[in-house]
């Protein structure tokens, strides 16, 4: 089964930009655009912030953007704000299964 | 708007069966095409358990497949999860979620609506 690898943690100062990577161990990410990203604050359910690589659901600020190159997808948050401090998870869908990344803890310094 | 709410026992004995339901409010469950269960062990990441297409055949995580049963009860506007032969490793917050669909497509790993989650502990 696929596995999605994310860095355990990233950090940035308010106003800066950060990028979180999500790399798949087999070739699924490179062959489809089924990549989503979630933001999760402690004690809360995850919130969808990006779907299909680079699409934002209604209500998600345009500071959140996604991209993909080969087997690696990325989430970029520009103009960091204190409220962006949370855990972020990527996900992918292939072969009738959904896989989540291990999660990345974003700290806003 | 559509809301999801999980319910079920918070404590299950080892080797028993975990049973949860997810009530759909704000719309008919028949209008929600893909419904999933996701869990999160304390302090850990998200794990997809499985999904069902309306009342069609479910798919589930290969690592759990033999223990998972997902079904839809349209008359009660809810869907359910049963996980058999549980161990302490199944202790987690369990979420139900709905895949995001437009008029043209559904994005099966993009869950736009989530329940608040329910904590299930496996312990004697």
Mutate which of B58, B62, B110, B115 to disrupt the A interface (most A C-beta within 10 Å)? Answer: B110
pLDDT at A30 over 70: no
pLDDT at A78 over 90: yes
Closest-approach residue (CA) in chain A for B47: A100
Closest-approach residue (CA) in chain A for B112: A48
Mutate which of B45, B97, B116, B117 to disrupt the A interface (most A C-beta within 10 Å)? Answer: B45
pLDDT at A1 over 90: no
Interface of A with B in 28-47 (CB under 8 A): 34-36, 38, 40, 45-47
Determine the pLDDT at residue A29: 59
Given the structure tokens 């930009």, which residue do they identify? A17
Nearest C-alpha neighbor of B90 from the set B11, B5, B6? B11
pLDDT band at B55 (very low <50, low <70, confident <90, very high): low
B67 three-class SS: helix
A2 vs A54 pLDDT, higher one: A54
B1 three-class SS: coil
pLDDT band at B38 (very low <50, low <70, confident <90, very high): very high
CA–CA distance, A45 with B115 (Å, rounded to integer): 7
């Amino acid at each position: 089964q696929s596995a999605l690898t994310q860095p355990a943690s990233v950090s940035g100062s308010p106003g800066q930009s950060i990028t979180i990577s999500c790399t798949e161990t087999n070739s699924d990410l490179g062959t489809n655009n089924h990549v989503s990203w979630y933001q999760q604050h402690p004690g809360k359910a995850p919130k969808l912030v990006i779907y299909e690589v680079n699409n934002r659901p209604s209500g998600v600020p345009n500071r959140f953007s996604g991209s993909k190159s080969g087997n690696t997808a990325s989430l970029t948050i520009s103009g960091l704000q204190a409220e962006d401090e949370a855990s972020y998870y990527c996900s992918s869908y292939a072969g009738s299964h959904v896989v989540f990344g291990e999660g990345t803890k974003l700290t806003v310094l | 708007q559509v809301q999801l709410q999980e319910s079920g026992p918070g404590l299950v004995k080892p080797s028993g069966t975990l049973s949860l339901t997810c009530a759909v409010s704000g719309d008919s469950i028949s209008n929600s095409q893909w419904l999933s269960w996701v869990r999160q062990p304390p302090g850990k990441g998200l794990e997809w358990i499985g999904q069902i297409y309306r009342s069609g055949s479910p798919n589930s995580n290969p690592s759990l497949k033999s223990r998972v049963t997902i079904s839809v009860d349209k008359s009660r506007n809810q869907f359910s999860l049963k996980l058999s032969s549980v161990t302490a490793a199944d202790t987690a917050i369990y979420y139900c979620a709905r895949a995001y669909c437009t008029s043209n497509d559904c994005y099966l790993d993009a869950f736009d609506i989530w329940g608040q989650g329910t904590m299930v502990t496996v312990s004697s």
